[in-house]
Every structure is written in structure tokens, then in C-alpha cells.
Amino acid sequence: MRFLLNQKIITNPYGRATKWYKFHQGCDYRAKYTPVYAPLDGIITRKWNSMFGGLSLEIKLKDGYKIIMMHLSDIINRKEAKFKEGEKLCYTGNTGIWTTGPHLHVEVYNPKNERIDPEKYFIKNDKKKPMTMYEKVIELFRKKHTEDEAAIAFVPDDDGRVYLLKGGERREVKTVEKVIEALLAIHAIGITKKNIVEVKEGKPL
């Protein structure tokens, strides 16, 4: 199994309350108009466009699990509904009114049609690929802070490394422990988003 995107950055995890609902029914991943790939062999079961979720796609995988993806910008036209693991299925986007920026909303349902945490499904099945440092830091840091609070203090790059943003300078941090230490120090003195220079995806400072 592979992940849906080339890079995994969680912006809103499963279950968190938002301004639109008390329980987030899926998991949101930051992705600016990028391809979405099939995690396993499967079949496309539904395509639709709605006011809230925008352009959406439902797929059923060979293991019996169902995945719904929302806020898409485009769905690739295919001659057949069947697809193979790794094939491009669609592109992330910013459609629908339940969105504040380009991302991929993912919902996962087990063979009994019960909704589950997408991250638990992907981590359980992704035995070949270890967690990136970013994912490790998020997992540890959000036990005491929100994911958004963690994300403003550091960013991942395409090479999988993590860079701490400090005074407009980007400094590589090589261990999870050092990142946690730096994050705790930053939040202790109340640095906010206004003090952090945004690093755009794929464009180093």
C-alpha cells in the first residue's frame, strides 16, 4: 500500500471540532493542487459535486475498505472504473464551501461501512515506509498542543527533513527531541504565526 499523496502533512485530524461541525469525520491533508494516487487496487464507485464538499470521489479497495475524497479540483477521466495501486485518480483542490484553502479531505470506511480514523488505517497498512520526522513530531507534540500550533514553528521539506523557523531563518533540525525542545521554547515565549516566515512548498528560503 502507498499513501494517497507524495507528502503527508495533516492540517486537521479525525475527530477534531471545527467551526462547521463538532466532530471532523475525516482527516485533512495539506496539498496544493497535486495528484492523488490509488493506495491499493480497486474500483471507482461514485463521483459527485456538492455545495459543502465540492468535487468528490469514492473508491472501494481490494481489501474491502472504502475511501471518500473531497474538495478536488479535477477527477481523471478513465475508460474503466478499475484501477491499480499507484495510478493517478484525481487532483486536490479547494472546491466546496467547507474549506479554507487547498487540501484533501479523506474519509475511510471499513468493510462493515463503519467510519474510522484514516490515519490508523494508513499507518496500520503502510509497513514499508517509516514515519517521517514531521509525522513523529506532530504525533508527539499534539498530545499537549494542536497540530496548527506545531505547524507554525517548523516545516517539512520535500527531502523529508524538518526545518525550524526562527527569526526568518530556516535551520535544519535533525532529531525529534531537538524539534520538541525548540517548539516548547518557542511557545513558552508566545511566538505566534505573525512572527513566523511562511515557507512555501518546494521553495526554500
- Give the CATH number for residue 94: 2.70.70.10
Tell me how far apart the alpha carbons of residues 7 and 197 are, in angstroms, rounded to a whole number.
21
Q: Calculate helix-pair angle for 133-141, 176-188, nearest 10 degrees.
A: 50
| pLDDT at position 112 | 96
pTM of the entire structure?
Answer: 0.63
Among 76, 94, 125, the domain boundary falls at 125
Residue 37 shares a structural domain with residue 116: yes
Q: Report which residue type is found at 67.
A: I
Question: CA neighbours within 13 Å on the CB side: how many for 93?
Answer: 18
| pLDDT at position 127 | 56
| pLDDT at position 183 | 54
518557542: which residue's cell?
Answer: 186
**Residue spans of the chain under pLDDT 50:** 145-160, 162, 165-170, 186-205
Tell me how far apart the alpha carbons of residues 156 and 137 are, in angstroms, rounded to a whole number.
11
Residue 53 shares a structural domain with residue 87: yes
Q: Report which residue type is found at 48.
A: W
| pLDDT at position 143 | 53
| CB atoms closer than 10 angstroms to residue 203 | 8
Tell me how far apart the alpha carbons of residues 26 and 107 are, in angstroms, rounded to a whole number.
4
| pLDDT at position 204 | 31
Tell me the residue range of the domain where 190 lies.
Answer: 133-195
| pLDDT at position 8 | 85
Residue 19 shares a structural domain with residue 98: yes
| pLDDT at position 100 | 85
103-109 and 27-30 strand pairing: antiparallel
Number of H helices, E strands in the chain: 4, 13
93 occurs within a structural domain: yes
Residue 27 shares a structural domain with residue 75: yes
